[in-house]
A and B are shown apart, each in its own frame.
Chain A
Amino acid sequence: MSEGPSTPTGSASRRGDAAERSPLAALLVPGLILVFCAFVAYLTTTFDRVPSSLAQGMQPADYPLFLLALLSLLAIVLAWQEWGKPRSRREPLPAVFWITLGLIAVFVVLAAFVDLFVAFFVFSFSLSYAWGERRLGLSLIIAVLTPAALFFLFGHLLEVRFPRGLLTNLIYG
């Protein structure tokens, strides 16, 4: 689906309009796809080759390379299709989106190096706060109870053993 009105107009008339993006912006996504394809195609060169009797007409890299060629072709079609279309600027992402991403990064660090359930507590409480919740007592209770409920449900009922960490070491002994 096109993002703006679909009447074809000359790019010159749009150049001064601050609300519209450069026609080159249309090439960004196809360009990224082509770069991705080139990188993955490079990775296929690291695959082992097998004797032709075992390969049965197709080396392990052939099929991914065929898919990458198809993906590149589609990216070129996309670029051709998008080129010259008037495109309005996307709404900038709000600060809370970036905070959410940052909290996910903090979660990864805590889960990897401290404890999964400590990471759950910190993420749950911080995200509530970042998204505008100011009832801190309630947030705290929910940030404790939700991971505890998941631990009970998965750990006891579904017999999942969680990774060891600061808290789980205390529980598992």
Chain B
Amino acid sequence: MFDGALAGLGALLDIKLLAMIFAATVAGVLIGALPGLGATSGAALLLPFTVTMPPVQAIAILATLYCAATYAGSITAILINTPGTSAAAATCIDGYPLAQRGEAGRALGMATVASTIGGIFSVIVLAFSAPLLAKLAYQFGPPEYFALSLFGLSMLASISAGGAVKNLIGGVFGVLLATIGIDKMSSVERFTFGSPELAEGIHFIPVLIGLFALSELLVQSTMLNQTVERIAMKAVQLPSWEDYRRTWRTILRSCGIGTFIGVLPAEGATVASMIGYNEARRWSKNKDEFGKGAIEGIAGAEAANNAATGGAMVPTLALGIPGSATTAIILAAMLVHGIRPGPALFTQQAAFVWAIFGAMLIANVMFFGLGLVGAKLFARVTLIPNTYLWPGVFLVCVVGAYALDQSMEDVWIMLVFGLIGYAMRRLGFSVVPVAIGLILGELVETTLRQSLVMFDNQWWKMFTRPITLVFFVLTALGLASPLIFGWLEGRWRGEEPGKRRAEGPLSE
């Protein structure tokens, strides 16, 4: 392990790789600061550029962008009350009022410090827990992986966007998409319509670009009449000792919350920041200040959302189950590069894994410096007119979809999924479950069929294996979580039990 760690961290001494990490940090901060483009759509757009790179560079760049963009969402959340990424939505609640009081620099300083602490904390947890989890995964056979991937899909029920049933529909749709192509067990073509390109299966990259980036262009076309009020700022200020005294407990708590939420399959920085913010409020002595510019609110949300980045990489690298939407894209990139995440990754390619840990650590330090020195400059990226930005995004979407296989068919697929993504968002569905379902789909089918062969088609024997049973129980809990949380919420609010039931058992 130590040899791998040394080799991986040594790889980061390469000036070219460091320059790439720096460029990806700058790109991540710019993308994160642009409302509409976030870590996920940014990673989807950047993915085609990384295909020709060596795997370490490619994944390091995407992981760096993930960390930097998650932080940078706070810049516009604080200055223009528009979160650059959904993970920064909770930061708006107190960041913008504080900025309105003329303390934008203080708010951005706290966001930068809390994000950096959260990010570094989670990378340290990632570096120690992912290899341990991978060791456990050595005991996994096809039934365990099948149960684990089902657990990952069941967690879609509890992600915040959409609603439990809508998210599950999206997830199953994604798994269904993964059946397109030649069936690996029988070599029979399924849903290929005679197309040789589709026989290999549907490529992740065009689908992800369409779902996340192109659908956002269509969303933006409906929001052109919105105007934003920009708050002027002199410079970012590091938090005062009084601010540290008030927030250190909140930051530590949010580091733990964010990392834990990030580790859960499918849950990401957005959920983490909401919970981090709520817990900051719950434990604060100054509850009345929340919503009016509480510095603890900013610290709670920002430490949690950046802590979720390292957390989300734990199941992604150790088990091949994405911890968030952006890590689903990073997982897709790993598969494109022929890297199969899982326990073998930590023994056979330890240097690669440690290089990714190191890159994420460096990214956190870099965005700390960039945030303190250049937040004012990066905020100006929001001045780029939509009339120039989004045509450019469309062009990058098309070239990105085309570049992987140099096939116009991938461009048409990207356009179709852009329309599907927009229709889903318009109808209240999230596109994240589709992406996660598509990426996990092959694993679900392959492991199910291998398990059936193992047990001679007696599927119920899967329940006799302890780890599989644990994952099935967790899957049931994951599916029931909206019900359980709904019931608990009703109890806390003192509602009559029948009143919630009238809304339907799975309503949020």
Residues of A within 8 A of B (CB): 1-3, 6, 8, 29, 33, 40, 43-44, 47-48, 50, 54-61, 63-64, 67-68, 70-71, 74-75, 77-78, 80-82, 85, 90-91, 93-94, 96-97, 100-101, 104, 107-108, 111-112, 116, 120, 123-124, 127-128, 131-133, 139, 142-143, 146-147, 150, 154, 158-163
Contacts and interface: CB of A to CB of B under 8 A. Distances in A.
Given A33-B169, A67-B175, A123-B394, A96 B190 contact: no
**Which of B190, B388, B391 has the most chain A CB atoms inside 10 A of its CB?**
B391
Chain B's interface size range is 35 or more
Nearest to B403: A160
Contacts of A160: 399, 402-403, 406
Contact of A1 (B191, B217, B402, B508): B508
B459 to A, nearest CB: 9
Contacts of A82: 504
Contacts, number: 167
Interface in B409-425: 411-412, 415
B503 A85 contact: yes
B408 interface: yes
- Secondary structure at the B interface, as helix, strand, loop or mixed, is helix
A51 to B, nearest CB: 9
A147 B173 contact: no
Contacts of A6: 503, 507
Main secondary structure, interface of A, reads: helix
A53 B505 CA distance: 44
Interface of B: 49, 51-52, 162-163, 165-166, 168-169, 172-173, 175-176, 179, 183, 185-186, 188-191, 217-218, 221-222, 224-225, 385-388, 390-392, 394-396, 398-399, 402-403, 406, 408, 411-412, 415, 426-428, 445, 448-449, 452-453, 457, 502-508
Contact of B388 (A63, A111, A142): A142
Contact of A143 (B391, B399, B448): B391
A43 B186 CA distance: 18
B453 A159 contact: no
Given A57-B453, A74-B172, A96 B186 contact: no
Contact of A74 (B169, B457, B503, B504): B169
A78 B169 contact: yes
Contact of A8 (B49, B52, B503): B503
Given A78-B165, A85-B503, A131-B390, A147 B395 contact: yes
Given A2-B507, A128-B388, A47 B190 contact: yes
A3 B427 CA distance: 10
